[in-house]
Amino acid sequence: MKKNLRLSLVVLICFLLFVNLHSQDDFTKDKDKIQKYFKMSLKEMMEVEIITAGRTPEKVADIPASVVLITREDIETYGYKNLAEILENIPGLFAINDYGEGGINFGVRGFWSGVANDNMIIMVNGVSQVHDLQNNYPLTKIGIPIEAIDGIEVIRGPMSVVYGNGAFYGVINIFTNDALKEKMSRGVKEEPISIVSTSYGSDQTKKIFLRIANQKGDFNYVFNASISDTYGIDQPLNKMVRNPALLPLYGVTEDQTTGGRLESSEKYFNFSANLKGFYVNLSYIEGSPEFYFLFPSVTDGNAYFNNNTNISFGYNKKLSDKITLDGRFSYFQSRTLEKFDFLFSDFYGIQQFESNAYEVELNAFIYPSGKLDITTGLYYRAILNTSSMYDLPSFGSTSFENNYFYLADGNNIETRAVFTQLSYKPFSKLNLVAGVRLEQMPGYDLEAVLAGGTIDFRKLTGTYEQDNIEVIPRLAAIFSLNDKNVFKLLYGMAINRPSFFQNTKNSLNLDTVLVDFVKPLKPEKINTLEINYIGAISSKFTLSTSIFRNELENLITRVVRLNDEGNYQSWSGNAGKMITYGVELTIKTQLFKNFRLVLSGTYQETEDKRPGYENIVTAYSPNFLGYIKAAYRTKKFTLAFTGNYVDGMETYWDETIINPDDGSTGDRIGDKVEGYFLLGANVRIDDLFFKGLYLSVRCSNLLDEEVRYPTFTNNDWATRGTLGSGRTFLLSIGWKF
């Protein structure tokens, strides 16, 4: 690794020398809009307006949260190949690829729960992409091609006052419909841009993308569509296990790889339109990403077929200079079928998930005076149907056959909420923000059919009764010393309710022996205190820093008990408590014309406060995260580098493991993984041969670094950790017209 770090430094030094030598060329005289973006002052950047933090346009300097903005220019400059690559380069986020069905997962500020992306709400054009069965946001469900993304707003910190359940560490809002909107980050209004592009790269990656955008009078629309396919990661299994000789016990050979067993294909369709305040967003994603689960795949890989449809339409009306109303109705449908590939070639086993839901929102933005802004809203979501079925007869036990968990007839899973947030400026340099949300999820009945059609058939009923009204507060004080220095003192609380999937075991009492121990699950909670500063060190350097403390309570975790016979029994419970202290630092500079450099670092310490865990290092919690972005851009040519470092991580601590040496219990399910550094590079040429034609070549993991992700319980056979991709390339050519 040290060799790769030295090589990366040499590459960056050569890059800086290249920039210096070319900083005075004729391209610096160009007044292209891209150069305006590069030269944006700190004052201009703090006046950029984003809408995610408060559902209405707000200046970055006035937002009571830590903000990261990814523009279309950033995406083109750095050449990110997919959404996951964007997210792993956002300060505070770190990737874990456990080869699971949800795709790549992301921990935030030193915490990963083990569930795929359940700590931050992910939206597309303001519409939630939640998976209603598991209350999370798997990337395989979202499926947005990188070419369709116009921008991403990342609001870090508890955001449950505005967005409710799930906004534990913040909100990520992805925009695919900005082709006709004013680009505040550049201060210009673009003409509609349509795009056609094709990409080919390593791992037999192929993609075709089409965008059509147009405007006729008051009507404008954006249409995005893509088809993609990839062979996936190809890594040897024997490098992921401590003892390769054990692999034949799983039905695989010692020389088998993941090649051809992590394939993925995807179809994506999105349509957005606006007409005189009326707007609509439609999306359809159909995917079949293969995955690993419990055991290594034997033949072609575990097959995964999913389709997701989201329909949202609304109306935004400015009633007067003091009141604007926005109402929206959304409908969601998700279906998944999994076919398992375990242990032997003719293994049969399937699992199915299904959910349907709708959501209604009504928000009002009130400006009674120049000093006071009020945002208030009503929210209602109803999950009409959600179910989970699995049938695994090849395991030879009736307990794995025809198990079906579902909502009882006449029941919906409802969420009701009302919120209000006030922003008051007693004088021009001080902004005080206070908000509160009242949210309730009434109880619901659920049922299960176990071992259907066998002699062990059982039918169970249960009720989830945690229907308390949650009171969620938020406070902030924002002080602008001047137009170049802003201080933010932030406090917020957020909740994360247990999902239907988590509630099935606890509410149905599947194990009658544990009926006195298993309790209904309460919402997880987080309280965050943060101090944030944005300012100018000099005319060429800007600084953003945050110091934060997160206190997590009622974390849903595995609870283990030793019964009277000396056997371990486990279930889910609100047994977790953690505290994280951290600091984030980002420095941006433009040392030379046409060149910018961004350096970021996060240091965090997470302490597990459960009794008996005080001296055990928290799993999946890297202490240090580092990020670098460097770009040299002229009118037609771009050379850019990205780099991110993720510190080493421990794996899950399992109390049921018996240590053979002394008979004690408790150990890690896998080895600690070492830290890694990923360096990426992108070369882009615009207006190649004729106007609008572009060519982009992205290299990810340029140094071919070995990347190991810590194993998790869904794939604990990989005791040394799952392996990431080596050096890969993606060539894209397209035409903007």
CATH number at residue 389: 2.40.170.20
Q: What is the pLDDT of residue 76?
A: 94
pTM for the whole structure: 0.90
Task: Report the alpha-carbon distance of residue 371 to residue 177 in Å, rounded.
Answer: 32
What is the pLDDT at residue 635? 87
User: Which of 51, 43, 84 shows the shortest CA–CA distance to 67?
Assistant: 51
Within 8 A by CB and 6+ apart from 603, the residues are 582, 583, 623, 624
The DSSP bridge partners found for residue 381 are 359, 415
Q: Which of 484, 466, 582, 456 is nearest to 523 (CA)?
A: 466
Strand 665-668 with 653-658, pairing: antiparallel
DSSP-assigned beta bridge partners for residue 612: none
Which residue in this structure is represented by tokens 């299960």? 448
User: CA 357, CA 644: separation in Å to the nearest integer?
Assistant: 38
Where are the alpha helices (H) located in 284-431, listed in sequence order?
A: none
Separation between Cα atoms, residue 73 and residue 371, nearest integer Å: 34
pLDDT for position 190: 55
- Distance, in Å, from the CA atom of 488 to the CA atom of 436, rounded to the nearest integer, reads 19
Q: Which two tokens stand for residue 295?
A: 């055991």
pLDDT of 45 reads 65
Q: Taking the chain, what is the end-to-end CA distance rounded to the nearest angstrom?
A: 44
Q: How many residues does the chain have?
A: 737
pLDDT at site 31:
38
The distance from CA 288 to its chain's CA centroid, rounded to whole angstroms, is 19
Give the pLDDT confidence score for residue 579 in this predicted structure.
Answer: 94
Total number of domains constituting the chain: 1
**Strand positions, DSSP E, 217-340:** 219-230, 264-275, 278-287, 303-318, 323-339
Strand duo 264-275 + 105-108: pairing: unpaired
The residue among 550, 545, 569 whose CA lies nearest residue 558 is 569
Range of the domain at 322: 2-736
DSSP state of 401: S
Instruction: With a cut of 70, list the residues of the chain below it in pLDDT.
Output: 1-47, 179-191, 509-517, 559-570
Q: Are 421 and 375 in contact (CB under 8 A)?
A: yes
